[in-house]
Amino acid sequence: MIKTALRILLVEDLKTDADLISYHIGKIVENPEIKVTDNLEEVSVLLQNFAPDVILSDYNLPACTGLDVLRLVKDFDADMPFIFVTGTIDDDELAANTILTGASGFVLKKNMRVIGEKLKPLLKQVVFNMIEKVELREKIRQNKIAVNQIYRYLDDFEADSEEQRDYLAKIRKNIDQIKLERDAK
C-alpha cells in the first residue's frame, strides 16, 4: 500500500472505466484524491485549481486525444507525471510515440483485472519523485531564509563611510539580481 496520499487527475470518458480505475487505485494508494474529467478545458482548470500529483488519461476521448491532453499537461508542467490507461495503445509504434512525447508510462485496459498491480510501480515512482522535490523545496526555503538574514544584517549594519555604504548597496544589488534570475527559471 502506498501511504503517501496522491492527488490524481483521471481523464476518462467512460464512467464504468473511471469507477473501476478509481476502485483499483483505492486498493493500492491510501487516501487518494481523484478528480475525473473527459475534456481539455476541465483538465486546464484542474491543473491550476486541483494541482494533481499525477495524470492518468485514456487515449481516445470524445473531443480530443490523450496526446492532446499530454501536450496540454506538459505545457503547464513539463515534469508532471502522465500515465496512459487505455485500450488503444496496443501497437509498439504508438506506445513508443507516447513515451517520446513525454508520457511516464502506460497500462492497457485489457489488464483491467490487474490494473492496480500494473499501476503500482508507476505510482511508486511518482511518490519517490515527489519526495525528491520536497527535499529540493526545503533547500530552496533554507536559501530564502539565508538571503533574508543577509538582508536584515545589511539593513542593521552601520556603515562608517561612504565607501562602505557603496559596497553594501552593491551587495544588495547583486543579491537582488541573483533573486531575479532564480525566479525567472
* Residue 93 confidence class, pLDDT cut points 50, 70, 90: low
What would the pLDDT profile of 101-113 be if each residue is shown by its tens digit? 778 887 878 877 7
3-state SS, residue 165: helix
- Measure CA 3 to chain center: 18
- pLDDT of res. 81: 92
**Which helix (H) or strand (E) segment is 164 a member of?**
helix 162-184
Alpha carbon distance 99, 152 (integer Å): 48
For the beta carbon of residue 62, count every other beta carbon within 10 angstroms.
7
Phi, psi of 33 (to 5 degrees): -110, 115
Helices (H), 50-114: 66-76, 92-101
Does pLDDT of 91 surpass 70? no
Does pLDDT of 61 surpass 80? yes
CB contact at 8 A, 111 and 19: no
- pLDDT of res. 181: 72
User: Strands, DSSP E only, in 48-153?
Assistant: 54-57, 82-86, 105-108
CA angle 78–138–149, rounded 5-degree value: 125
**Closest C-alpha among 67, 106, 80, 64 to residue 9:** 80
Average pLDDT over residues 2-18: 93
Residue in the structure block whose three cell numbers are 530552496: 140
- pLDDT of res. 62: 92
* Dihedral Cα 23, 31, 79, 127, nearest 10 deg: -110
Alpha carbon distance 50, 6 (integer Å): 11
